[in-house]
Amino acid sequence: MRAYSLLSKIRNPELAKARRSYSEHEIRASILEHLRLMCGTRRGSMLTCPDFGIADPSDLVHGFPDATAILGRSIRNTIENYEPRLQNVRVRFTPNDTADLILRFEVSAQVILEGSKLPISFETSLDATRRLKVE
């Protein structure tokens, strides 16, 4: 099981040392870091990989009322294509009860770790400034 990306290992050589196992916390932190990178990248902004990232929230304004479904699919497709450690990815829109202009999505998946499937979940939120956070 890979816990850290190649670029993480290059930046921090301590991470590149051979290890037999990684803790669930280390794997979750690595996946969270990668999801933040993916969700912070707009689709089409990488010349070498044009489908990497998510749909630009500015473009979704014209897609209402289907904008939440479009953004949810965009997040799910990006995770399925570019985060191989996650399987059975589900992205679910969670309605907001407050007056805030925030779109929230719950991302749930499974990580295969030493032959067992561990559930993992994250929350993503898109605020009025079009900033997407993953926690």
Whether pLDDT at 1 is above 60: no
Whether pLDDT at 48 is above 70: yes
Q: What is the pLDDT of residues 84-132, one digit of tens each?
A: 989 999 999 998 776 677 889 999 999 987 778 889 999 988 887 777 7
Look up the CATH number of domain 6-134.
3.10.450.40
Whether pLDDT at 39 is above 60: yes
Are 126 and 111 spatial neighbours (Cβ–Cβ below 8 Å)?
no
Q: How is the chain split into domains, by residue range?
A: 6-134
Whether pLDDT at 46 is above 80: yes
Identify the pLDDT of residue 93: 92
Residues whose CB is less than 8 angstroms from the CB of residue 69 and which lie 6 or more positions away in sequence, other chains included: 93
pTM given for the model: 0.80
Whether pLDDT at 4 is above 80: no
Helix (H, G, I), strand (E, B) or coil at 87: strand
* Helix and strand totals (H; E) in the chain: 4, 4
